[in-house]
Amino acid sequence: MLVQTCSGLVRGAQLDGAFVFRGIPYAAPPTGELRFKAPAPARPWQGIRHCDHFGPIAPQKGDPNGFLPELPQSEDCLTLNVWTTGPAEVLKPVLFYIHGGGFVSGKGADCDGRRYAAEDGLVYVSINYRLGALGFLYLGELLGEAFATSGNTGMLDIVAALQWVRRNIAAFGGDPSRVTAIGNSAGAKCAATLYTMEAARGLFAGVIAQSGATQSIRDRSTANVTAQRLLDELGLARAEAHQLLELPAERLIEAQSAIGFDTSRSLHMFGPVADGRVIPDDPLGSMNSVSGGSMPPLLIGSNEDEAAIFIQGDPLLAPPSPDVADRLFGANAPIVWVSYRRYSESMPSAEAWRRTLSEHLYTIGAMQFAAAVSDAGAKAWVYRLRCGGSLGAIHGYESSLINGLHDAGMTANPEDPFAVAPEYYPLARSMRAAWVAFAKTGNPNVAQLPEWPTYGANRSTMVLDRQCRVGEDLPEPAGAAVTHQVWRISACS
């Protein structure tokens, strides 16, 4: 299958019921003078570009156990992938996938959009974007005006990919006016952050944010602390910061790994920056200036046992202590610790700690963002997932339910915390139907689930379990009044 894009002809590969176009450049290589700067338009090519393999992924710390670990890494990583059944007289909704990975890892190749295209009637797009220091290192106060937006180059990459979709997706059978951004974890945080960016307005028609909102946006003071830590690790004085423009990417990745928290992807050293340019100083407050009629709808939620997977993987997180709370939450640590003490009065210490971390890392952020979207006049639907694997409804488990092959007779491995047991297949099918419905109509209501009201003053929440129900009586998370609008000298302190 051949498709004409604005940059040139591309040829895709045929799959079972669909076509896939891998590794299409959506921007110029962000190398040389473009390092730490906004992406430039993709360079045109002559002839046919054969898109039968994924492009290089953003530089990151290697994961030998990851999906497709053999993919090369390169700063020339700004490519996307398209799954489609082909051109159509009636254009199809588009699902635009932003990968997670704590803003320091991941790739667009981590997903497979074939089923969404072949079975669900969607055009599916996944992208790479710059990560870590190359995508989120704020250098405005070190290198001057030319680098004032450097803390958000990863977000600007995502906007550039959305602009590519706006210009080109109709040729693949997709409707550029019906693009739903979807992400999990850091991908959800990127998708939610789009609401705060003037540059992204009009480029997406909805957002599905799975376990993530805007709680990883940090202010410039916090971003400056991260930049200083990176310089210290590299042995550079502030007057030598310009050397960051020329150091090998591998050296930057080594340094960012040394200053970051490698054991848990829930703890972000890097992330979007409220720089006053790309993202306003008051991200959520700025949304009130957008007409509610033009603000896209939101589907957002969190999982009951988000933190269990991190506690299992990091022994330093397991013992409840004010020191751990301070490392995770900084200025908000005292409120978090009060939450834990309150929960520990009625449940075992380990359970109280897991609930406290889950709520303050994810649940509260989702509630606050849904409230902000609702207050700005847009529709928001909120879920809380309660069923899960051996560790419960852990971080990322909704992806297992939505993307798994639930009817293929797979056997749940009781040792795999992400495995889906057969008794959860009906829920998995219902969730997938709701997610696809949202992508198609901007509303997740489907026959397989109870009627799902929007989130407003009554805080209606769909409780996703073996028996789903709408909860307007869910307990308020302890310490929910804490503000996560901007990340201030916390994990970076």
Neighbours of 236 (CB within 10 A): 16
Q: What are the residues whose beta carbons fall under 8 Å from the beta carbon of 254, sequence distance 6 or more?
A: none
Q: What are the residues whose beta carbons fall under 8 Å from the beta carbon of 354, sequence distance 6 or more?
A: 305, 307, 308, 311
What does the pLDDT read at residue 293?
64
Question: For 81-97, how does the pLDDT look when each residue is reduced to its tens digit (9 = 90+)?
Answer: 999 999 989 999 999 99
Q: Where are the domains of the chain?
A: 2-259, 303-471
CATH number for the domain formed by residue range(s) 2-259: 3.40.50.1820
What does the pLDDT read at residue 264?
37
238 vs 240: CA distance, rounded Å: 5
Question: For 132-154, how does the pLDDT look when each residue is reduced to its tens digit (9 = 90+)?
Answer: 999 999 999 999 999 999 999 99
180 vs 434: CA distance, rounded Å: 13
The residue among 308 and 318 whose pLDDT is bigger is 308
- Torsion angle of C-alpha atoms 189, 191, 193, 194, degrees rounded to 10: 170
> What's the average model confidence in pLDDT over 285-313?
88
What does the pLDDT read at residue 483?
47
Question: For 162-197, how does the pLDDT look when each residue is reduced to its tens digit (9 = 90+)?
Answer: 999 999 999 999 999 999 999 999 999 999 999 999
What's the whole-number average pLDDT of the chain? 91
Whether the CB-CB separation of 218 and 486 falls below 8 Å is answered with yes
In Å, what is the CA distance from 425 to each residue of 124, 397, 405?
A: 23, 13, 9
What does the pLDDT read at residue 114?
95
What does the pLDDT read at residue 432?
97
Is the pLDDT reported for residue 321 higher than 50? yes
pTM of the complete model: 0.94
The rounded percent of the chain whose pLDDT value lies above 90 is 81
DSSP 57: B
Half-sphere exposure of residue 239, counting CA atoms within 13 Å on the CB side? 0
Q: Which residues pair with 298 in a beta bridge?
A: 207, 380
Q: Quick one: pLDDT band at residue 328, thresholds 50, 70, 90?
A: confident
Q: 3-class SS at 188? A: helix
Joined together, the tokens standing for residue 197 give 């960016």
Question: For 79-137, how does the pLDDT look when each residue is reduced to its tens digit (9 = 90+)?
Answer: 999 999 999 899 999 999 999 999 999 999 999 999 999 999 999 999 999 999 999 99
Is the pLDDT reported for residue 491 higher than 50? no
Q: What are the residues whose beta carbons fall under 8 Å from the beta carbon of 341, sequence distance 6 or more?
A: none
